[in-house]
Amino acid sequence: MTLLDFCRLIRKNLALFIALPVVFALACLGYLFIGHSDDAVYTASSRIVVSTHAADVSGLAAGQARAYTNSDEGIDVTQSVDFNAKTVTIIVSSPDEEQSINIANEVAEAVLAESRSFLPDNPDDPFNGRIEPAEEAAMSGSTDALIKYLAAAILAGLFVAVCLILIVNALRRPIRSIDNIQDRVELPVLETIPVSDGGERLLANIRFASKRKEVSSICLIPANDDSSVCLIRELLENALKTEQHSSEMVIKCEDSLSKSMKAAYTAREVDAAVLVATAWKDSMRDLESSAAELKLADANLVGIVLVES
Partner 1 sequence: MMNRNKAVLAVLMVCCLMAAMALVACSSQSVSRSTASESFASSPTAEPSVDAMPTGVRYILVVGNDSWEGQPEHADMMCLLRVDLDNKIIHEISVPRDTKYDFGGGSFNKLNQMLTHGGVEAQTKAVSEVVGVPIDYYVMIKFDGLMNIVEHYGGLEVDLPYNITYSFYTNDYDDETFEAGDQILTPWRVMAISRARTGYGDQDIPNQEVVRQYIDRQMLTTLMQYAYQNGTDQIEPLFKLFQGDIQTNIPFDEQVAWAKTLGSNGSFEVIGTTGPFEGDIDPDTGLWLVTPDPNGWANLMNAVENGGDIQAAIDTYDYSSFADGISGMTSTTITVG
Which residues contact partner 1 (rule: CB under 8 A)?
1, 6, 52-56, 58-66, 79-85, 118, 120-122, 125, 141, 144, 148, 151-152, 155-156, 158-159, 162-163, 166, 169-170, 173
How far CA 224 is from CA of 255, 259, 260, 286, 293, in Å, comes to 8, 8, 11, 6, 13
Residue whose C-alpha is closest to residue 106's, from 156, 159, 71, 65? 65
Nearer CB in complex with partner 1: 50/239: 50
| DSSP state letters, 70-104 | BGGGTBEEEEEEETTTTEEEEEEEES-HHHHHHHH
Nearer CB in complex with partner 1: 58/228: 58
Backbone angles phi, psi at 81, to 5 degrees: -125, 145
How far CA 152 is from CA of 143, 157, 166, in Å, comes to 14, 9, 21
Cα(114)–Cα(79) distance, rounded to whole angstroms?
A: 16
Shortest reach from residue 104's CB to partner 1, in Å: 16
How far CA 210 is from CA of 203, 279, 299, 300, in Å, comes to 11, 24, 11, 7
Nearer CB in complex with partner 1: 29/204: 29
Shortest reach from residue 156's CB to partner 1, in Å: 8
Nearer CB in complex with partner 1: 86/268: 86
Nearer CB in complex with partner 1: 144/248: 144
Shortest reach from residue 110's CB to partner 1, in Å: 12
Cα(233)–Cα(228) distance, rounded to whole angstroms?
A: 9
Rg of the chain in Å (alpha carbons): 39
Shortest reach from residue 141's CB to partner 1, in Å: 8
Cα(309)–Cα(222) distance, rounded to whole angstroms?
A: 15
Nearer CB in complex with partner 1: 111/294: 111
Give the amino acid at 58.
S
Shortest reach from residue 130's CB to partner 1, in Å: 19
Shortest reach from residue 151's CB to partner 1, in Å: 5
- For residue 50, the 8-state DSSP code is E
Q: Are strands 272-278 and 301-307 parallel, antiparallel or unpaired?
A: parallel
Shortest reach from residue 242's CB to partner 1, in Å: 41
Cα(118)–Cα(110) distance, rounded to whole angstroms?
A: 12
Nearer CB in complex with partner 1: 201/285: 285
Strand, coil or helix: 62: helix
Nearer CB in complex with partner 1: 149/208: 149
Shortest reach from residue 59's CB to partner 1, in Å: 4
